[in-house]
Structure 1
């Protein structure tokens, strides 16, 4: 009986994950250690993202419309420092995982500036005639806001003081008729405490520049 001794295995005969890793590292120009370190960093980053996304999901259950800026503040004030994340990274993270809050676009126009009525100059615009509200009862700002209801819609006419930001008059109507704006202005007249000159600022829509509104502005002055 003869025994045949086998010689050392040829390097080409060796195969396995380690040699495959060495071959890939050699081909890419990186060492095997760098390849493992990159994998470790990638796994750590994925675990961190999973923790952050889990926190975001729990917060969104209570506040569905909360944005990235408030989430960034909440994440970086937690006792668990593993949730800390940079602002830019947090802004990109919801986009990658499709967790961005959808922006509701408003398609209800409350201003129609294409009309035949006279448009007064903007006295709040920077220039030689600019008026600055340094104290109450100097400048009043009027605006109309669309209010969506369950089965219909409404329009809120607001008149605020430019200095104190206080709401001086308001009225909710079912349409954009000028009468609804006048009702808000009448409340302003009741709350006036001085007789000093008053500047009225509003959009250039037809419902705020009609002749009836202009006449009412003279009464307010």
Structure 2
């Protein structure tokens, strides 16, 4: 079953088609899609814009949300009704956890019951796994006593607090008092403040490429980076992913802000079109590629991360060469009034010119699309 095109790509193709600078059939051919597919995209876009009758995605989503809210309200009403009956029998307010168990048996989600009753889901599961022990109760009493001592004299650290607790007849070793004070952030006002400075952490991945920008097959090695360009509305950022084997741009995303979500969107677009297995994704040490969201996306799709050194542009030179071409052929050709204008120019140049018209000596004077089709038999999108 063919992979669906990314939503961002569909929006860009529709925007190009609506400019009416070329026939629909030609635009579909230049972007590597069927004419029927493009007509379908335009129809859906007209529905979304309100120029054609039909149920838009927003309306469908709103209907789903309404049904979900109704179901949630019914569950909340049931929780409140059961809670009123539960406490009317004289049950103590602290006995809410057993009520959650009863509701769960009747199909009410634990998360909803915990939220309505006013405590966290984690607290419920902690109670379910290990009810409070005598040690927990003793620690709670010690913490309360330590807070009272510290409130009377904020200069006291854990050593002085331990001495005071002994005078009050509470048996507790100094190490135990230190642990409890640290967990509750009970520190002397004269203690040295910590955590005010930070050092840059180590790279998230090792450098698996070592400037060897070669690959014997598709989806063996991908390169990625982010570039920016000014418009009269502000900066526009492009994150692109290139397959080293055919030097084709297999995924990209464009946004007005350079956040981790930009890199994640480009990676997801590439994965949805190529279905890679064990691909090495090489980048620089930008914060977007070191983010938890990007690392999680790599792992969830079975990809392997790789990173160059700090400030070493040559460690990702093959990706920089693509951005240099983009700079010369698109970005610096004119002054761009709007982000949308520049966006469409970038997408059109990549799909129409770079992929299907520009011949590369490294590929035997073939275009990336021709090279993938003729030399590898790889099915192109």
Task: Tell me which interval the TM-score lies in, with the shorter structure as reference length.
Answer: 0.3 to 0.5
Judging by fraction of residues, say which structure has more helix: 2
Larger radius of gyration: 1
TM-score (norm 1): 0.43
TM-score (norm 2): 0.26
